[in-house]
Chains A and B, each alone.
Chain A
Amino acid sequence: QSVLTQPPSVSAAPGQKVTISCSGSSSNIGNNYVSWYQQLPGTAPKLLIYENNKRPSGIPDRFSGSKSGTSATLGITGLQTGDEADYYCGTWDSSLSAGGVFGGGTKLTVL
Chain B
Amino acid sequence: QVQLVQSGAEVKKPGASVKVSCKASGYTFTSYGISWVRQAPGQGLEWMGWISAYNGNTNYAQKLQGRVTMTTDTSTSTAYMELRSLRSDDTAVYYCARFLWFGELFYGMDVWGQGTTVTVSS
Interface, chain A (partner B; CB < 8 A): 2, 32-33, 35, 37, 39, 44-47, 49-51, 56, 86, 88, 90-92, 97-105
Across the interface, which residues of A come within 8 angstroms of B106, CB to CB? 32-33, 91-92, 100
Question: How far, in whole Å, are A88 and B47 apart by their CA atoms in the complex?
Answer: 12
On chain B, the number of residues with a Cβ less than 8 Å from chain A's Cβ atoms is 26
Interface of B is mostly: strand
Asked if residues B62 and A97 are in contact (CB atoms below 8 Å), the reply is yes
- Is B41 part of the contact surface with A, judged by Cβ < 8 Å? no
Q: Mark B57-101, 1 if CB is under 8 A from A, else 0.
A: 001111000000000000000000000000000000001010010
B112 CB within 8 Å of chain A: yes
Using CB atoms and an 8 Å cutoff, list the residues of chain B in contact with chain A.
35, 37, 44-47, 49-50, 59-62, 95, 97, 100, 105-115
